[in-house]
Amino acid sequence: MNVRRPVRTAWNVLVRKAPIEAQLIITRRCNLSCGYCNEYDDHSPSIPLDTLKERIDALHGLKTAAINLLGGEPLLHPDLAELVRYARRKSLVALITNGFLLSEKIVQDLNDAGLDHMQISVDALSPSGDLFIQKSLKSVRARLRALKDRARFSLHVNAVLCPQSIEEYDELVAEVRALEIPISIGLVHDAEGRIDIKGEPYLGLWEQFYTEEGNFSAIEREYGSRLLKGETPDWHCRAGHRYIYVDEFGKVQYCASQRGYLDRDVTGYKRADMLAAGALKKTCATGCSIGCAYRCSAVDGNLMAVASAWIRGEREHRRRQKAIAATNQPAQA
Protein backbone atom coordinates (compact mmCIF):
# COMPACT_ATOMS: atom_id res chain seq x y z
CA MET A 1 0.00 0.00 0.00
CA ASN A 2 1.49 3.31 -1.06
CA VAL A 3 1.62 5.72 1.89
CA ARG A 4 0.46 9.24 1.08
CA ARG A 5 1.81 12.06 3.25
CA PRO A 6 4.52 9.76 4.70
CA VAL A 7 6.02 12.39 7.01
CA ARG A 8 2.67 13.23 8.61
CA THR A 9 1.77 9.54 8.86
CA ALA A 10 5.11 8.70 10.48
CA TRP A 11 4.67 11.57 12.96
CA ASN A 12 1.18 10.44 13.91
CA VAL A 13 2.13 6.77 14.24
CA LEU A 14 5.54 7.05 15.89
CA VAL A 15 5.24 10.25 17.92
CA ARG A 16 1.53 10.73 18.58
CA LYS A 17 1.04 6.95 18.94
CA ALA A 18 -2.03 7.04 16.72
CA PRO A 19 -3.89 3.92 15.58
CA ILE A 20 -2.19 2.15 12.69
CA GLU A 21 -5.26 0.36 11.41
CA ALA A 22 -8.96 0.52 12.12
CA GLN A 23 -11.29 -2.14 10.81
CA LEU A 24 -14.76 -0.73 10.23
CA ILE A 25 -17.70 -3.07 9.64
CA ILE A 26 -19.94 -1.52 6.97
CA THR A 27 -22.34 -4.45 6.57
CA ARG A 28 -22.72 -7.77 8.30
CA ARG A 29 -24.45 -9.37 5.32
CA CYS A 30 -22.41 -11.71 3.13
CA ASN A 31 -23.08 -13.61 -0.08
CA LEU A 32 -21.18 -16.65 1.29
CA SER A 33 -21.35 -18.74 4.45
CA CYS A 34 -17.85 -20.12 5.08
CA GLY A 35 -17.71 -22.70 7.87
CA TYR A 36 -14.89 -21.10 9.86
CA CYS A 37 -16.32 -17.56 9.82
CA ASN A 38 -18.65 -16.04 12.42
CA GLU A 39 -18.54 -12.45 11.14
CA TYR A 40 -21.52 -12.49 8.81
CA ASP A 41 -25.21 -13.17 8.29
CA ASP A 42 -27.47 -13.32 5.24
CA HIS A 43 -30.04 -10.68 6.11
CA SER A 44 -28.70 -7.59 7.91
CA PRO A 45 -29.19 -4.29 6.06
CA SER A 46 -26.15 -2.21 5.15
CA ILE A 47 -25.25 0.40 7.74
CA PRO A 48 -26.47 3.82 6.54
CA LEU A 49 -23.94 6.07 4.83
CA ASP A 50 -24.39 8.99 7.24
CA THR A 51 -23.88 6.71 10.24
CA LEU A 52 -20.67 5.33 8.77
CA LYS A 53 -19.43 8.84 7.98
CA GLU A 54 -19.82 9.73 11.67
CA ARG A 55 -17.73 6.69 12.59
CA ILE A 56 -15.11 7.57 9.99
CA ASP A 57 -14.97 11.12 11.39
CA ALA A 58 -14.27 9.64 14.83
CA LEU A 59 -11.44 7.49 13.44
CA HIS A 60 -10.02 10.52 11.64
CA GLY A 61 -10.15 12.41 14.93
CA LEU A 62 -7.88 9.75 16.42
CA LYS A 63 -5.44 10.29 13.48
CA THR A 64 -5.92 6.70 12.28
CA ALA A 65 -3.38 5.90 9.56
CA ALA A 66 -5.43 3.31 7.64
CA ILE A 67 -9.12 2.39 7.61
CA ASN A 68 -10.05 -1.08 6.40
CA LEU A 69 -13.67 -1.52 5.28
CA LEU A 70 -15.02 -4.95 6.18
CA GLY A 71 -18.14 -7.09 6.19
CA GLY A 72 -19.72 -9.49 5.86
CA GLU A 73 -18.96 -8.67 2.25
CA PRO A 74 -18.23 -4.94 1.77
CA LEU A 75 -18.97 -5.04 -1.97
CA LEU A 76 -22.62 -5.49 -0.99
CA HIS A 77 -22.76 -1.97 0.44
CA PRO A 78 -24.53 0.33 -2.06
CA ASP A 79 -22.44 3.36 -1.06
CA LEU A 80 -19.04 1.67 -0.99
CA ALA A 81 -17.35 4.06 -3.42
CA GLU A 82 -18.59 7.10 -1.49
CA LEU A 83 -17.33 5.56 1.77
CA VAL A 84 -13.90 5.04 0.22
CA ARG A 85 -13.85 8.61 -1.06
CA TYR A 86 -14.91 10.00 2.31
CA ALA A 87 -12.48 7.93 4.39
CA ARG A 88 -9.59 8.67 2.04
CA ARG A 89 -9.60 12.37 2.87
CA LYS A 90 -7.47 11.74 5.97
CA SER A 91 -6.53 8.04 5.96
CA LEU A 92 -5.34 5.29 3.68
CA VAL A 93 -8.31 3.11 2.71
CA ALA A 94 -8.40 -0.62 2.06
CA LEU A 95 -11.07 -3.29 1.95
CA ILE A 96 -11.25 -7.06 2.31
CA THR A 97 -13.49 -8.96 -0.10
CA ASN A 98 -14.16 -12.50 -1.26
CA GLY A 99 -14.10 -11.14 -4.81
CA PHE A 100 -17.23 -12.93 -6.04
CA LEU A 101 -19.05 -9.66 -6.79
CA LEU A 102 -16.20 -7.86 -8.55
CA SER A 103 -17.20 -6.30 -11.84
CA GLU A 104 -15.70 -3.81 -14.27
CA LYS A 105 -18.01 -1.09 -12.92
CA ILE A 106 -17.15 -1.76 -9.27
CA VAL A 107 -13.42 -1.68 -10.03
CA GLN A 108 -13.78 1.58 -11.96
CA ASP A 109 -15.86 3.12 -9.17
CA LEU A 110 -13.18 2.16 -6.63
CA ASN A 111 -10.46 3.52 -8.91
CA ASP A 112 -12.31 6.83 -9.16
CA ALA A 113 -12.92 6.92 -5.40
CA GLY A 114 -9.20 6.49 -4.72
CA LEU A 115 -9.09 3.09 -3.00
CA ASP A 116 -5.54 2.41 -1.86
CA HIS A 117 -5.57 -1.37 -1.42
CA MET A 118 -7.75 -4.46 -1.78
CA GLN A 119 -7.28 -7.84 -0.13
CA ILE A 120 -9.03 -10.76 -1.81
CA SER A 121 -9.60 -13.80 0.39
CA VAL A 122 -8.98 -17.09 -1.47
CA ASP A 123 -8.61 -20.20 0.66
CA ALA A 124 -8.44 -23.14 -1.77
CA LEU A 125 -8.37 -24.06 -5.45
CA SER A 126 -11.98 -25.30 -5.35
CA PRO A 127 -14.84 -25.17 -2.83
CA SER A 128 -14.80 -28.05 -0.36
CA GLY A 129 -17.51 -30.69 -0.76
CA ASP A 130 -19.19 -29.65 2.49
CA LEU A 131 -18.83 -25.94 1.57
CA PHE A 132 -16.80 -25.31 4.73
CA ILE A 133 -14.48 -23.48 2.31
CA GLN A 134 -16.24 -21.45 -0.38
CA LYS A 135 -13.68 -18.77 -1.26
CA SER A 136 -11.87 -20.60 -4.04
CA LEU A 137 -9.53 -19.62 -6.85
CA LYS A 138 -11.74 -21.51 -9.28
CA SER A 139 -14.59 -19.10 -8.48
CA VAL A 140 -12.64 -15.84 -8.86
CA ARG A 141 -9.70 -16.58 -11.20
CA ALA A 142 -11.17 -14.66 -14.14
CA ARG A 143 -12.09 -11.76 -11.87
CA LEU A 144 -8.55 -11.65 -10.48
CA ARG A 145 -7.09 -11.47 -13.98
CA ALA A 146 -9.41 -8.60 -14.87
CA LEU A 147 -8.78 -6.89 -11.54
CA LYS A 148 -5.02 -7.06 -12.02
CA ASP A 149 -5.36 -5.36 -15.42
CA ARG A 150 -7.84 -2.65 -14.41
CA ALA A 151 -7.18 -1.75 -10.78
CA ARG A 152 -5.19 1.40 -10.02
CA PHE A 153 -4.95 0.35 -6.36
CA SER A 154 -2.56 -2.23 -4.96
CA LEU A 155 -3.90 -5.67 -4.15
CA HIS A 156 -3.01 -9.01 -2.68
CA VAL A 157 -4.58 -12.41 -2.11
CA ASN A 158 -4.79 -13.84 1.39
CA ALA A 159 -5.23 -17.56 2.07
CA VAL A 160 -5.97 -19.23 5.41
CA LEU A 161 -3.89 -22.28 6.29
CA CYS A 162 -6.28 -24.85 7.77
CA PRO A 163 -6.98 -28.61 7.66
CA GLN A 164 -9.55 -28.23 4.89
CA SER A 165 -7.10 -26.44 2.55
CA ILE A 166 -3.89 -28.32 3.27
CA GLU A 167 -4.04 -30.74 0.32
CA GLU A 168 -4.26 -27.95 -2.26
CA TYR A 169 -2.06 -25.44 -0.47
CA ASP A 170 1.10 -25.72 -2.61
CA GLU A 171 -0.85 -25.59 -5.85
CA LEU A 172 -2.92 -22.64 -4.67
CA VAL A 173 0.16 -20.59 -3.79
CA ALA A 174 1.80 -21.48 -7.11
CA GLU A 175 -1.25 -20.50 -9.14
CA VAL A 176 -1.71 -17.16 -7.37
CA ARG A 177 1.98 -16.40 -7.94
CA ALA A 178 1.51 -17.26 -11.61
CA LEU A 179 -1.13 -14.50 -11.76
CA GLU A 180 1.61 -12.13 -10.54
CA ILE A 181 -0.46 -11.06 -7.56
CA PRO A 182 1.18 -10.93 -4.11
CA ILE A 183 -0.08 -13.51 -1.62
CA SER A 184 -0.08 -13.68 2.17
CA ILE A 185 -0.98 -16.54 4.48
CA GLY A 186 -3.02 -16.52 7.68
CA LEU A 187 -3.37 -19.18 10.37
CA VAL A 188 -6.89 -20.39 11.13
CA HIS A 189 -8.13 -19.50 14.61
CA ASP A 190 -10.94 -20.64 16.84
CA ALA A 191 -13.93 -18.57 17.95
CA GLU A 192 -11.80 -16.81 20.61
CA GLY A 193 -9.05 -15.88 18.16
CA ARG A 194 -6.52 -18.51 19.30
CA ILE A 195 -4.63 -20.64 16.80
CA ASP A 196 -6.52 -23.78 15.85
CA ILE A 197 -3.69 -25.80 14.23
CA LYS A 198 -0.15 -26.78 15.15
CA GLY A 199 2.76 -28.97 14.17
CA GLU A 200 3.44 -30.51 10.79
CA PRO A 201 2.70 -30.16 7.98
CA TYR A 202 1.57 -26.62 8.81
CA LEU A 203 4.90 -25.51 10.28
CA GLY A 204 6.86 -26.71 7.26
CA LEU A 205 4.51 -25.05 4.82
CA TRP A 206 4.55 -21.79 6.81
CA GLU A 207 8.36 -21.65 6.81
CA GLN A 208 8.59 -22.73 3.17
CA PHE A 209 6.19 -19.98 2.15
CA TYR A 210 8.22 -17.20 3.72
CA THR A 211 11.52 -18.63 2.48
CA GLU A 212 10.32 -18.77 -1.12
CA GLU A 213 8.18 -15.64 -1.15
CA GLY A 214 10.42 -13.11 0.57
CA ASN A 215 6.96 -11.99 1.51
CA PHE A 216 5.85 -8.36 1.49
CA SER A 217 4.07 -8.91 4.82
CA ALA A 218 6.43 -10.95 6.98
CA ILE A 219 6.12 -9.26 10.36
CA GLU A 220 4.51 -12.28 11.97
CA ARG A 221 6.76 -15.00 10.45
CA GLU A 222 8.64 -15.89 13.64
CA TYR A 223 5.57 -15.44 15.80
CA GLY A 224 3.51 -17.77 13.60
CA SER A 225 6.26 -20.37 13.63
CA ARG A 226 6.29 -20.39 17.40
CA LEU A 227 2.52 -20.76 17.56
CA LEU A 228 2.67 -23.72 15.20
CA LYS A 229 5.33 -25.29 17.42
CA GLY A 230 2.84 -25.18 20.28
CA GLU A 231 4.58 -22.31 22.07
CA THR A 232 2.82 -19.33 23.62
CA PRO A 233 4.98 -16.29 22.84
CA ASP A 234 4.71 -13.39 25.25
CA TRP A 235 3.66 -10.18 23.53
CA HIS A 236 1.66 -7.09 24.39
CA CYS A 237 -1.54 -6.76 22.37
CA ARG A 238 -2.36 -3.11 21.64
CA ALA A 239 -5.91 -3.76 20.46
CA GLY A 240 -8.13 -0.79 21.21
CA HIS A 241 -5.17 1.48 20.49
CA ARG A 242 -2.83 0.59 17.63
CA TYR A 243 -5.48 -1.71 16.19
CA ILE A 244 -9.14 -0.68 16.46
CA TYR A 245 -12.09 -2.86 15.52
CA VAL A 246 -15.44 -1.11 15.11
CA ASP A 247 -18.37 -3.52 14.97
CA GLU A 248 -21.66 -3.12 13.10
CA PHE A 249 -23.14 -1.25 16.07
CA GLY A 250 -20.35 1.32 16.09
CA LYS A 251 -18.78 -0.14 19.25
CA VAL A 252 -15.01 -0.41 19.68
CA GLN A 253 -13.98 -4.01 20.42
CA TYR A 254 -10.60 -5.65 20.90
CA CYS A 255 -11.24 -7.67 17.72
CA ALA A 256 -13.98 -9.68 16.03
CA SER A 257 -13.31 -12.62 18.36
CA GLN A 258 -13.07 -10.68 21.63
CA ARG A 259 -16.15 -8.54 22.11
CA GLY A 260 -17.77 -7.00 25.15
CA TYR A 261 -14.62 -5.82 26.93
CA LEU A 262 -14.45 -2.25 25.62
CA ASP A 263 -17.89 -1.91 24.01
CA ARG A 264 -17.42 1.86 23.65
CA ASP A 265 -19.17 3.87 20.96
CA VAL A 266 -16.45 4.99 18.55
CA THR A 267 -17.99 8.46 18.23
CA GLY A 268 -17.19 9.02 21.91
CA TYR A 269 -13.90 7.14 21.96
CA LYS A 270 -11.17 9.54 23.06
CA ARG A 271 -7.39 9.48 22.97
CA ALA A 272 -7.29 8.71 26.71
CA ASP A 273 -9.60 5.71 26.16
CA MET A 274 -7.39 4.50 23.35
CA LEU A 275 -4.17 4.74 25.35
CA ALA A 276 -5.77 3.01 28.35
CA ALA A 277 -6.99 0.12 26.19
CA GLY A 278 -3.59 -0.31 24.61
CA ALA A 279 -1.86 -0.39 27.99
CA LEU A 280 -4.00 -3.24 29.32
CA LYS A 281 -2.42 -6.69 29.42
CA LYS A 282 -4.90 -8.95 27.64
CA THR A 283 -5.13 -12.61 28.61
CA CYS A 284 -6.61 -13.42 25.20
CA ALA A 285 -3.23 -12.58 23.60
CA THR A 286 -1.90 -15.99 24.63
CA GLY A 287 -1.97 -18.12 21.49
CA CYS A 288 -3.74 -15.42 19.45
CA SER A 289 -3.41 -15.75 15.67
CA ILE A 290 -5.28 -12.56 14.69
CA GLY A 291 -2.55 -11.30 12.38
CA CYS A 292 -3.79 -7.72 12.02
CA ALA A 293 -3.77 -7.18 15.79
CA TYR A 294 -0.29 -8.67 16.08
CA ARG A 295 1.17 -6.64 13.22
CA CYS A 296 -0.16 -3.33 14.54
CA SER A 297 1.02 -4.13 18.07
CA ALA A 298 4.48 -5.03 16.77
CA VAL A 299 5.21 -1.36 16.04
CA ASP A 300 5.68 -0.78 19.76
CA GLY A 301 7.57 -4.03 20.31
CA ASN A 302 9.69 -4.58 17.20
CA LEU A 303 9.85 -1.46 15.07
CA MET A 304 12.69 -2.72 12.86
CA ALA A 305 10.71 -5.78 11.75
CA VAL A 306 7.73 -3.58 10.93
CA ALA A 307 9.90 -1.12 8.98
CA SER A 308 11.49 -3.94 7.01
CA ALA A 309 8.11 -5.40 6.07
CA TRP A 310 6.82 -1.94 5.11
CA ILE A 311 9.80 -1.39 2.80
CA ARG A 312 9.12 -4.71 1.09
CA GLY A 313 5.52 -3.69 0.66
CA GLU A 314 6.48 -0.33 -0.85
CA ARG A 315 8.84 -2.04 -3.30
CA GLU A 316 6.10 -4.42 -4.37
CA HIS A 317 3.65 -1.55 -4.80
CA ARG A 318 6.06 0.45 -6.96
CA ARG A 319 6.90 -2.62 -9.05
CA ARG A 320 3.19 -3.15 -9.66
CA GLN A 321 2.60 0.51 -10.56
CA LYS A 322 5.44 0.39 -13.10
CA ALA A 323 3.97 -2.76 -14.61
CA ILE A 324 0.54 -1.11 -14.89
CA ALA A 325 2.07 1.99 -16.49
CA ALA A 326 3.99 -0.13 -19.00
CA THR A 327 0.85 -2.09 -19.89
CA ASN A 328 -1.17 1.09 -20.41
CA GLN A 329 1.39 2.79 -22.67
CA PRO A 330 0.16 3.11 -26.27
CA ALA A 331 1.90 0.85 -28.76
CA GLN A 332 4.64 2.54 -30.81
CA ALA A 333 3.84 2.99 -34.49
- Rounded mean pLDDT, 56-62: 98
Mean pLDDT taken over the chain: 87
> Exposed (0-12), middle (13-18) or buried (19+): which is 78, by Cβ within 10 Å?
exposed
- Rounded mean pLDDT, 209-216: 69
Helix (H, G, I), strand (E, B) or coil at 68: strand
**94 neighbors 151 (Cβ within 8 angstroms):** no
pLDDT of residue 8: 86
pLDDT of residue 7: 82
Write the pLDDT tens digit of every residue in 22-40: 999 999 888 776 666 666 6
Decide if pLDDT at 68 tops 90: yes
**45 neighbors 72 (Cβ within 8 angstroms):** no
Tell me the residue ranges of DSSP E strands in the chain.
Answer: 21-25, 66-70, 92-97, 117-121, 154-161, 183-187, 243-246, 251-253, 264-265
pTM given for the model: 0.88
Confidence tier at 82 by pLDDT (50, 70, 90): very high
Q: Tell me which residue of 140, 153, 29 sits closest to 84, measured CA to CA.
A: 153
Write the pLDDT tens digit of every residue in 151-206: 999 999 999 898 888 888 899 999 998 898 988 899 999 989 999 999 999 999 99
pLDDT of residue 333: 35
> In terms of DSSP H, where are the helices of 103-201?
104-113, 137-150, 169-178
In this structure, which topology does domain 6-328 adopt according to CATH? Answer: TIM Barrel (3.20.20)
Q: How many Å apart are CA 256 and CA 166, to the nearest integer?
A: 25
Residue 35: asked if its preceding bond is cis (omega within 30°), the reply is no
> Per-domain residue ranges for the chain?
6-328
- Rounded mean pLDDT, 59-67: 97
Q: Give percent above pLDDT 70 in the chain.
A: 83
